[in-house]
Structure 1
Amino acid sequence: MPHKIPESVLVLIHTSDMEVLLIERADRPGFWQSVTGSLDRLDEPLMVTAARELFEETGIVADGDTIRLHDWQLSNVYEIYPVWRHRYAPGVTHNTEHVFSVCVPRDIPVTLSPREHTQYAWLSWLEAADRCFSSSNAEAILQLPRHIAP
């Protein structure tokens, strides 16, 4: 299996009243997060990666009309957790994560990829930030009020 590319997206899924959808990792029970995923290839546009990961992990389609991805133009560089470093080329220790969000209706159907996630929960944005295991994910959620259109 080829090594993962150390460049990824983080997609915050939220409602207009700032409820945030979190999903629990299948490989790490108790680890809650937003949608995340790496580029499939070096030249894959970030918006394409975000839309692909959103669909793969939740079944939600960013159609560009009613469900639009918003690129925050924000990137975080963080150290890859040691437990997941084996997925990357030898010597790769850091990942660059690009933040996106998408506003959806609260009753949108969510279909999890059972290989990746076991359950989901809608939480207030502050509760969601508290539940995330990833500090960059929690920080992005805390910035959500600045990125929601009035």
Structure 2
Amino acid sequence: MAVVDTSKQETRRIRGEIEQMFGNVPSWVDELPESALAGFWTTMRDFQLGETRIPNKYKELIGLGVSGATRCRYCALFHTEAAKLFGATDEEIAEAAMMAAHTMSASTFMNAMQTDYDAFRRETLDAISYVRSHAAGASSPQPSQPSPNLHA
């Protein structure tokens, strides 16, 4: 198995891009294995911070939710500040954190109870189908007004 060796010139180029984007090269970047630097930076630059189908604000709110679930204070700080940079309000940040907490709570309960996945899948798809078919002239329930049938 060949070891990938990022050239010193490539490392300097990447560090230059990072410094241009952030104003400095964070010290933790120096701790990355040199062979991982190019892949890490390309994903961060082109996917996380780049323009993709998911708006940057939403990507950062997703990152914040994952940060809370994994209990990573480094990522929580970064994603909170990046979400604000991309226009997230304090209320949206709180909702993203609460959504992550709610998802983790339900997941913890169902996994601990060893809920039957096939039954859960069938019931979920049936519920979504029911809500769709009963939405009054709308293609989906309004986010701020959940369908009462969803909670029945």
TM range (shorter): under 0.3
TM-score, normalised to structure 1, is 0.28
Higher helix fraction (1 or 2): 2
Higher strand fraction (1 or 2): 1
TM-score, normalised to structure 2, is 0.27
Query: Which of structures 1 and 2 has the bigger CA Rg?
Result: 2
